[in-house]
Amino acid sequence: MLEELEVRDLGPIRHALIEPAVGMTAITGETGAGKSMLLEAIRLVSGGRTDAGRVSAHADGSWAQAVFREDPEGPAVVAARDAGAEVEDGELFLTRSVPASGRSRALLCGRTVPRAVLSSVASHLVVVHGQSDQLRLASPVRQRALLDAMPSVAGPRSRYDEAWDAFSRTRRRLSEMTTRQASTRQRIDYLKDSLERIGRVDPKPDEDVALRDRRTRIEHAAAISEGVGGAVAALDPSQLDGADDATGVLDLLGRAAQSLRSIHIADPYDAAADRLDSLAADVSDVVLSLTDRVGDQDAEGDLDVINARIHELDELIRRWGPGLGDVLAFRDAASTELEDLDAAPERIEGLQRKADEDLQVARDAADALHDARARMARRLSAMVDEELEALAMSGSRLEIRVTVRTGQKALDDSGSDDVEFLFTPFPGSRALPLGSSASGGELSRLMLALELSAARCRRAPAEVSDIPASDADGGDSGTAGEPMTFIFDEVDAGVGGRAAVELGRRLARLAEDAQVIVVTHLAQVASWAGRQIVVSKSVPAASTPGGDAGEDGGDGTAGVSTTVAAVEGEGRVHEIARMLSGDESPASVEHARQLLADSRRPD
């Protein structure tokens, strides 16, 4: 909902601050006062294109800011947060500055953003129905979206979206697997060849390290034997054949310990003897270890056989290394992958069956969606025609066509239907696409009729649809969170008398479900508003007629003073009187009082 709109130096408006009502707000004023500049401000903060010619004369630039309050979890706030804006308490600040020369600047909650971001956020907040904005619903995509937003269609649409998403996921997986099928055959051959080569060698964990160690011992067998024998002979020659009478270190340590103990004085000689015994025990362990290596059979072997085995292992490491452990890990992974790839044809068949099943579910859901759309289209068209009759457009009619597509691309993410809004402006004329078949005022009233009918559908779907209640679940009631803001311009073009009263009544009815702002020249329309804002101008006597700012904002020539202010009480009575007869005579004032009183009576 729009809480505040502030404008500076835009056309004839030097500064204006308006606070629209929650329900219906009427913006009134004489032609050329600058009412359209308020709409221009809304378009600017909604990401519209800029025109430096709209900047007020002698000003460096124009500036506009709109403050909206929305549901903190609503789509507009979510879109703002996704753009990096910090939103507090659901308040959104949409700002646009337009210099007299140079590029404009867009801000969202104080953060500079691309113009497209403002447009995206504003699309969830405000809809402008004016002569330059009617093409919003000229797109078949938007027309289908409006129809699908109706509660009786939203449920079937949601179920179709789920079915289509499931089919799309299965189709994507099937396409990927089918595309990979040729390369899969090559992968299978590679894995089988690799496993066969590794299997022929049959490596064992750390086998290459053990073989290299053994090769080293064989290559140095003579030196090892000589060194070990010399060490054993020095330590304990009794362990060697033919050296029984030799004396070694172990024997000398024993003799030394025995000599110390023969003193028969405990301190310090027994302690020294104990240390010698400990050294003797360590030497004995060393001797035992070295003795096991004398004549080591592991130091014997065929170096050619060992080197051939090491070469085989190195070949495996070179291809699937960098270590033998990596080769073994590849072997295990390849075996598992090969099992999966061998099952690929069966998986493709299974995915194809699932794709067929998912497609059938999607087709069934599309048929149900088509039925819901067709029924809602008939009902909505009839409701719009009823509203057009009351809006002085007797004989005009809206036809919403829902046709089933045929051919290869009959089904897509929107279902199987083409939706088209066709408008017949008067009896006997051809039904033409929306946006090319009526004037600005007629289109504004048509949009009002559409919004009114849509609001009725959201408010009480069971009363306006022949679709079973179970099929109407899942729709947006249109009442959750803050109301949408609808702005109507030129909606009263060519309307007068009783039709003008009905126009105001219907705008007020729409304001029960949404915020409505209408720019109008008709007192019969303005009288229905909860708040009335008057745009007025004054031209100094020295100003020439050429300095008058036209209804399109003119060039903002200096000397034209425009004010924007809300009127209440007697001030509003006199403004309504001016709108009725151009003056504020007692008769017109009394007429204004009566009109305001009548507009507050229930239907």
Domain membership flag for residue 215: yes
One DSSP character per residue, 384-445 reads: HHHHHHHTT-TT-EEEEEEEE--STTS-BTTBSEEEEEEEE-STTSPPEETTSSS-HHHHHH
- 16 and 40 together in one domain: yes
Q: Which of 557, 545, 561 is nearest to 54 (CA)?
A: 557
Q: How far is CA 183 from CA 96, 335, 428, 452, in A?
A: 55, 18, 65, 59
Distance CA 320, CA 357 (A): 43
Around Cβ 593, how many Cβ atoms within 10 Å? 14
- 119 and 12 together in one domain: yes
pLDDT of amino acid 476: 38
Q: How far is CA 371 from CA 358, 475, 506, in A?
A: 20, 16, 30
- 226 and 250 together in one domain: yes
Give residue 154's region: left, alpha or beta (phi > 0; psi -120 to 50).
alpha
One DSSP character per residue, 200-249 reads: HH---TTHHHHHHHHHHHHHTHHHHHHHHHHHHHHH-GGGSTT-TT---H
Domain membership flag for residue 454: no
- 520 and 580 together in one domain: no
Q: In this structure, what are the phi and psi dihedrals at residue 180, rounded to the nearest 5 degrees?
A: -80, -5
Around Cβ 2, how many Cβ atoms within 10 Å? 25
**Contact (CB, 8 A) for 127 and 89:** no
Which residues is 516 bridged to in the sheet?
24, 486
- 559 and 572 together in one domain: no
pLDDT of amino acid 379: 93
- According to DSSP, the β-strands at 2-10 and 13-18 are antiparallel
- 265 and 195 together in one domain: yes
Around Cβ 60, how many Cβ atoms within 10 Å? 13
Q: Which two tokens stand for residue 49?
A: 């294109």
Q: Which two tokens stand for residue 53?
A: 């010619």
- 216 and 94 together in one domain: no
Give residue 435's region: left, alpha or beta (phi > 0; psi -120 to 50).
left
End residue of a domain, out of 315, 341, 367:
341
Residue 9 CA, chain-centre distance (Å), reads 37
Distance CA 58, CA 556 (A): 9
DSSP H/E element including 267: none
pLDDT of amino acid 553: 42
Q: Would you give the DSSP letter of residue 469?
A: G
- In what side-by-side order are the strands of the sheet with 111-112? 13-18, 2-10, 61-69, 91-99, 105-108, 111-112
Domain membership flag for residue 408: no
- How buried is 568 (Cβ within 10 angstroms: 0-12 exposed, 13-18 middle, 19+ buried)? exposed
Q: Which of 115, 131, 308 is nearest to 208 (CA)?
A: 308
pLDDT of amino acid 102: 84
**Contact (CB, 8 A) for 92 and 125:** yes
Which residues is 585 bridged to in the sheet?
none
Domain membership flag for residue 517: yes
Around Cβ 508, how many Cβ atoms within 10 Å? 21
Domain membership flag for residue 290: yes
Q: Would you give the DSSP letter of residue 86?
A: -
Residue 264 CA, chain-centre distance (Å), reads 97
Domain membership flag for residue 23: yes
Q: In this structure, what are the phi and psi dihedrals at residue 335, rounded to the nearest 5 degrees?
A: -60, -45
Domain membership flag for residue 130: no
- 545 and 583 together in one domain: no
Write down how long the chain is. 603
pLDDT of amino acid 258: 83
- According to DSSP, the β-strands at 515-519 and 485-489 are parallel
Which of helix, strand or coil describes residue 126?
strand
- 35 and 71 together in one domain: yes
**Contact (CB, 8 A) for 395 and 426:** yes
Its domain, for residue 68, covers 1-125+513-563
Q: Which of 57, 62, 58, 2 is nearest to 27 (CA)?
A: 2
Distance CA 355, CA 167 (A): 6
- 16 and 85 together in one domain: yes
Q: Which residues contact residue 262 at a Cβ distance below 8 angstroms, ignoring those fewer than 6 apart?
A: none
End residue of a domain, out of 341, 359, 382:
341
- 518 and 593 together in one domain: no
pLDDT of amino acid 518: 92
End residue of a domain, out of 341, 359, 375:
341
- In what side-by-side order are the strands of the sheet with 561-567? 126-129, 485-489, 515-519, 24-29, 531-538, 561-567
Number of domains making up the chain: 3
Q: Which two tokens stand for residue 592?
A: 């204004």
Around Cβ 143, how many Cβ atoms within 10 Å? 19
Q: What is the mean pLDDT of each run of 10 residues along the chain (603 residues)?
A: 92 90 91 81 90 86 93 90 89 93 90 91 86 65 89 94 95 82 77 90 90 81 74 76 70 83 80 85 84 60 83 91 91 85 76 93 95 94 90 87 86 93 86 70 81 80 47 40 77 80 89 90 92 83 43 48 88 92 87 89 53
Q: Give Rg (Cα) of the chain.
A: 46
Domain membership flag for residue 364: no
Q: Which two tokens stand for residue 581?
A: 């007869």
Give residue 552's region: left, alpha or beta (phi > 0; psi -120 to 50).
alpha
Task: Write the CATH number for 544.
Answer: 3.40.50.300
Q: Would you give the DSSP letter of residue 124?
A: T
- 537 and 597 together in one domain: no
Tally of CA atoms within 13 A in the half-sphere of 232 that contains its CB: 22
Q: Which residues contact residue 238 at a Cβ distance below 8 angstroms, ignoring those fewer than 6 apart?
A: 244, 246, 248, 251
Gap between the terminal Cα atoms of the chain? 25
